[in-house]
């Protein structure tokens, strides 16, 4: 608890008025160029502006108002369906089809576009160990304000906590159908609190303090700190040498038990090639399924853009769910392809070979269709 209070003091001191810069309006971005872009809720673009007034609310800027306290209102929808084929050794194969995401959202901008409020909900979410009522299906529910051209502060539940790079990614940002094991085991979580997002030329960061509840399940059991910093050393020379990202995050808190974890990430993009690697270590973790186990995980992934709308991917992914036991690793090898017929639509196929120590191996073929308007 003392560590959290010390970090909180430093955080709010650095964001006091003595560090303020002249405020400007932040424009919506179509592409995810910064680590913190997962908070914007904008994936790959939307309906163009040249539509009827009825559909204009779904355009990038939504319906705009002049001489009004409200500057704009925008609606959006994220959708995903999956087909899964799974074959485990010595067992008959299984096949299932499901609609996994149906996520409507509304975003309202006001105060000369310096502030906004957002609400979105995944109507199809079902979490293990949760009652799956209305509150647990909520994704984002926040009020945000742009402090200056580089910083924005959020109050409420503003997307996933930056416990790890992979865990914080939005659905449309993912290169694979499934997040990495460390991403979906440690980092795929949401909580209510206050967070500050910053985007600079050579640095992005996301720092926040939260109630340690996850998906609004139980409030008041403890506090949580989550912070992430991403360095961009090649930003001034990326056109010639490519884009290099090096970063890491730290999560500390208490719920029914104390937990802490850290992650280290590196990523490199050069022309058509994209390489990523991440390591995470948890001394207990407060995730969808919490655990006080000492666990760690690592993945490395590469993707190659064959065409502007077609890419092939590969990933090596290993998780040790409990370091107190030997021969307990879960290793996944994934090969995949992603086709984007439109900027805001993905058709994906992944083959996964899953190797579990001292258990039967399995083969999975996953298909997914995702679109965002």
Kindly tell me the sign of the dihedral angle through the C-alpha atoms of 164, 167, 172, 178: positive
- State the pLDDT at residue 158: 87
Lowest mean pLDDT among 37-46, 132-141, 144-153, 184-193: 37-46
- Tokens 């403890």 sit at which residue? 222
Average pLDDT over residues 132-153: 89
Q: Is 187 helix (H, G, I), strand (E, B) or coil?
A: helix
CB 260 within 8 A of CB 279: no
Average pLDDT over residues 248-252: 94
Q: Nearest Cα to 352, choosing from 302, 320, 316?
A: 316
Confidence of residue 57 (pLDDT cuts 50, 70, 90): low
- State the pLDDT at residue 35: 56
What's the pTM value of the predicted model, to 2 decimals? 0.83
Q: How many helices (H) and strands (E) does the chain have?
A: 5, 17
Q: What is the token pair recorded at 332?
A: 């996944």
- Tokens 């059991």 sit at which residue? 221
Q: Rounded to whole angstroms, how far apart are CA atoms 314 and 239?
A: 25
- State the pLDDT at residue 56: 62
Average pLDDT over residues 236-247: 94
CB 90 within 8 A of CB 360: yes
Q: What residue segments make up the domains of the chain, in order of their start?
A: 2-372
CB 103 within 8 A of CB 80: no
- State the pLDDT at residue 305: 96
- State the pLDDT at residue 351: 96
Kindly tell me the sign of the dihedral angle through the C-alpha atoms of 212, 251, 166, 344: positive
For the chain, how far is it from start to end, CA to CA, in angstroms?
42
- State the pLDDT at residue 54: 54
Q: Rounded to whole angstroms, how far apart are CA atoms 98 and 311?
A: 25
CA angle in degrees (0–180, nearest 5) for 162-165-170: 80
Condensed to tens digits (0 to 9), the pLDDT of residues 207-217 reads 999 998 888 87
CB 286 within 8 A of CB 212: yes
What count of other Cβ atoms lies within 10 Å of the Cβ of residue 96?
9
Contacts of 48-51 spanning 24+ positions with Cβ under 8 A:
none
Q: Rounded to whole angstroms, how far apart are CA atoms 352 and 209?
A: 36
**What percent of the chain is modeled with pLDDT above 70?**
83
Pick the CATH number of 2-372 from 1.20.140.10, 2.40.160.10, 3.10.20.310, 3.30.565.10: 2.40.160.10
- The answer, yes or no, to whether residue 45 has pLDDT greater than 80, is no
Condensed to tens digits (0 to 9), the pLDDT of residues 331-340 reads 999 999 999 9
Ranges assigned E (strand) in 147-272: 151-157, 193-199, 203-211, 223-231, 243-254, 258-270
Lowest mean pLDDT among 18-27, 67-76, 254-263, 349-358: 18-27
Buried b (16+ CB within 10 A) or exposed e, 157-178: bbbbbbbbbbbbbbbbebbbbb
- State the pLDDT at residue 6: 45
- State the pLDDT at residue 358: 78
What count of other Cβ atoms lies within 10 Å of the Cβ of residue 327?
7
Length, in residues, of the chain: 373
C-alpha R_g of the chain = 21
Q: Which contiguous run of DSSP H or E holds residue 179? A: none
Lowest mean pLDDT among 7-11, 60-64, 179-183, 189-193: 7-11
Q: Are strands 151-157 and 138-146 parallel, antiparallel or unpaired?
A: antiparallel
């Amino acid at each position: 608890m003392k560590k959290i209070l010390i970090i909180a003091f430093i955080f709010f001191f650095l964001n006091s008025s003595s560090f303020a810069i002249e405020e400007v309006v932040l424009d919506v971005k179509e592409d995810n160029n910064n680590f913190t872009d997962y908070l914007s809720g904008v994936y790959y673009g939307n309906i163009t502006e040249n539509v009827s007034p009825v559909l204009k609310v779904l355009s990038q800027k939504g319906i705009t108002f002049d001489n009004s306290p409200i500057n704009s209102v925008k609606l959006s929808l994220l959708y995903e369906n999956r087909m899964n084929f799974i074959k485990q050794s010595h067992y008959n194969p299984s096949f299932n089809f499901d609609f996994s995401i149906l996520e409507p959202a509304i975003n309202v901008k006001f105060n000369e576009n310096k502030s906004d409020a957002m609400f979105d909900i995944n109507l199809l979410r079902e979490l293990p160990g949760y009652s799956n009522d209305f509150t647990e299906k909520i994704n984002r529910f926040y009020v945000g304000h742009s402090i200056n051209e580089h910083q924005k502060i959020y109050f409420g539940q503003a997307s996933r906590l930056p416990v790890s790079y992979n865990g914080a990614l939005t659905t449309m940002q993912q290169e694979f159908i499934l997040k990495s094991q460390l991403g979906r085991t440690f980092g795929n979580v949401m909580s209510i609190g206050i967070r500050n997002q910053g985007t600079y030329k050579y640095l992005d960061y996301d720092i926040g303090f939260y109630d340690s509840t996850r998906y609004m399940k139980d409030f008041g059991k403890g506090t949580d700190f989550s912070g992430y910093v991403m360095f961009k050393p090649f930003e001034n020379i990326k056109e010639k040498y490519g884009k290099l990202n090096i970063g890491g995050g730290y999560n500390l808190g208490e719920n029914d038990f104390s937990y802490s974890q850290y992650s280290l990430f590196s990523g490199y993009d050069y022309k058509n090639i994209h390489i990523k690697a991440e390591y995470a270590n948890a001394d207990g973790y407060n995730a969808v399924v919490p655990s006080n186990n000492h666990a760690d995980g690592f993945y490395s992934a590469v993707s190659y853009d064959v065409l502007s709308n077609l890419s092939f991917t590969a990933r090596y992914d290993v998780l040790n769910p409990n370091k107190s036991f030997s021969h307990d690793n879960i290793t996944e090898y994934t090969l995949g392809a992603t086709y984007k017929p439109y900027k805001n639509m993905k058709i994906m196929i992944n083959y996964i070979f899953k190797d579990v120590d001292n258990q039967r191996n399995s083969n999975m073929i996953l298909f997914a269709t995702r679109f965002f308007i």
